[in-house]
Amino acid sequence: MVANHARPKESKGRIAALERYWGGRKLSEVSGRTCRDYAKKRGSAAAARRELEELRAAINHHRREGLCSQVVEVVLPAKGGSRERWLTRSEAARLLWAAYSYREVQKGVETDKRSRRHIARFILVALYTGTRAAAICGACFEPGKDRGWIDLDRGVFYRRGEGVRETKKRTPPIRIPDRLLAHLRRWKARGIAINFAVEFGGEPVTRITKAFNSSAREAGLNAAYHAEDHLPAGKRTARRDVTPHVLRHTAVTWAMQNRADPEEADGYFGMTAETRRRVYQHHHPDFQAGVAAAVTRSPAAQLPHRNDRDKRGRDAPKSAVVAELHQGDRQ
């Protein structure tokens, strides 16, 4: 089953972590208490949640296959807040330059080998399309069943291969922005990227995390994290706030700031309307503009509310009777 996952290596790692705790236990032992105990022993709520999601998926698959009839609830740790970090255009430029201009150092001597140019290409594609890292790294220039591809003639990025099933992390085809399309065509024409948009030595790049993190450090990003470089991994309190996925947040944020149509943005970035409203909508210049204007507007003249009019209408006969009684008293 792991082979069908978008990132099988990470899935295997999560399964190995689950095995260390759940390997000797029965299905009947999965409960709120044991799930909370697992999360406590795991140390990281985020990691525990993702691994328990894997366990839940396995149990549900087991039941759907008719291997058990009981519904087993896997209790997850609370979900963390949405990542709010995005890059300013100045930060993005620094990151891009750090990757593009890097020269490899061998035996303490800087060489002419530019071994992070592929990271610069990755950054450009990510910032222009908001595509997730795995889809960018797998994108080739010819149609394929198991990977996405870039149509340089029509300017369309098919982010999912023909034989790859759609997941909740949607990857719809998108129009490639003109500036990026010009870059891609030039890379192809000059042999910089022969088969894949992001390749190293003619081969697709499966992971860019290490080189990306190094480029971010040299760009002056993740400063709080690197201030703790002298500490053992388990003693760090800060985390990297600029990761490859932050480029997706950046692309969506820039689109909102530049008044992108919200519904078009949902389709372009493959996100739900709920995610856009919850995480990105406040970046749009027109965010709640109508409500804010209505709250502060001073009306020239206020018409009486219809409830006030109805009340006067109902009270009119009563008022006439009272006036007549008073007139009788005066007589």
What's the N-to-C CA distance of the chain in angstroms? 100
Instruction: Specify the fold of 81-231+241-294.
Output: hpI Integrase; Chain A (1.10.443)
pLDDT at 323 over 70: no
Mean pLDDT of the chain: 86
SS3 253: helix
- 87: closest CA among 218, 221, 272, 186? 221
**For range 81-103, the mean pLDDT:** 91
| pLDDT score, position 260 | 97
pLDDT tens for each residue of 246-303: 999 999 999 999 999 999 999 999 999 999 999 999 999 999 999 999 998 877 655 5
Q: Where residue 79 falls among pLDDT bands split at 50, 70, 90?
A: confident
- Give the range among 19-33, 51-65, 192-206, 286-300 with minimum mean pLDDT: 286-300
Range name among 43-57, 76-90, 143-157 with the lowest pLDDT average: 76-90
- Backbone phi, psi, residue 270, to 5°: 65, 40
How far is the C-alpha of 203 from the C-alpha of 197, rounded, in Å?
Answer: 10
Residues across the chain? 331
* Domain boundary assignment for the chain: 2-64, 81-231+241-294
Phi, psi angles (nearest 5°) of residue 115: -90, 10
pLDDT recorded at residue 234: 60
Whose CA is closest to 133, among 240, 207, 26? 207
Q: pLDDT of 216-228, one tens digit each?
A: 999 999 887 777 7
Decide if pLDDT at 236 tops 80: no
Given a cut of 90, is residue 3 above it in pLDDT? no
Residue 324 pLDDT class (50, 70, 90 cuts): low
Query: Which pLDDT does position 92 carry in this prediction?
Result: 97
Q: How sure is the predictor about 231, in pLDDT bands with cuts at 50, 70 and 90?
A: confident
Give the model's pLDDT for residue 45.
85
pLDDT at 126 over 60: yes
Among 29, 49, 31, which Cα is nearest to 40's? 49
Q: Which residues contact 30 (CB under 8 A, 6 or more apart)?
A: 22, 55, 59, 72, 73, 74
